Amino acid sequence: MYPKEYRYTTKHEWIHVEGDTGLVGITFHAQEQLGDVVFVELPKAGAKVQAMQSFGTVESVKAVSDLYAPMSGEVTAVNDALLETPETLNQDPHKQGWLVRLKLSDKREIEKLLSAEQYEEFLASESES
C-alpha cells in the first residue's frame, strides 16, 4: 500500500526524493484518519521549511491538522490543484495528492525517516496501543 521508494515520518507525511528534490504528501493512513478533506493551506514557492516543522494545514470535516516537512528545503512548487479540489488528498494521497516539491538543503536528513516497511510497523504498533 505504501510506495517502497518513498520515506515516511511518524507524523504521517511522505517524501519521494529524486536527486536534490523531494515531493511531499500525506499518507493514505493520514487521509483515512482525517476523513473528507475540505481545505488545504500550503506555503508559497520560495518558502523555506525545516524538517519536522509545520509548513501548512489540512482541514477535514473532523479537524484541522498541521502538515510537517519530512526534510528541510525550499519550496519550488505547490500543488495548486488542491486549492480547488482538496478531496484529491482522499482519492490519491500518494500520487495526485502531493503537496509541495522541495529543493532539499540536507539530503542526509533522509536517514532519520522511515522506510515503507518501518512505517507499516509503526502503524501496527500505534493501533495496538
- pTM for the full predicted model: 0.96
pLDDT digits (tens, 9 = 90+) for 96-111: 999 999 999 999 999 9
Residue 22 bridge partners (DSSP): 17, 102
Over the stretch 56-109, which tens digit does the pLDDT of each residue have?
999 999 999 999 999 999 999 999 999 999 999 999 999 999 999 999 999 999
Using CB atoms within 10 Å of the CB of residue 75, give its burial: 0 to 12 exposed, 13 to 18 middle, 19+ buried: buried
Question: In this structure, what C-alpha cell is assigned to residue 6?
Answer: 518513498
| CATH class of the 7-128 domain in this structure | mainly beta
Residue labelled with grid coordinates 507524523 = 11
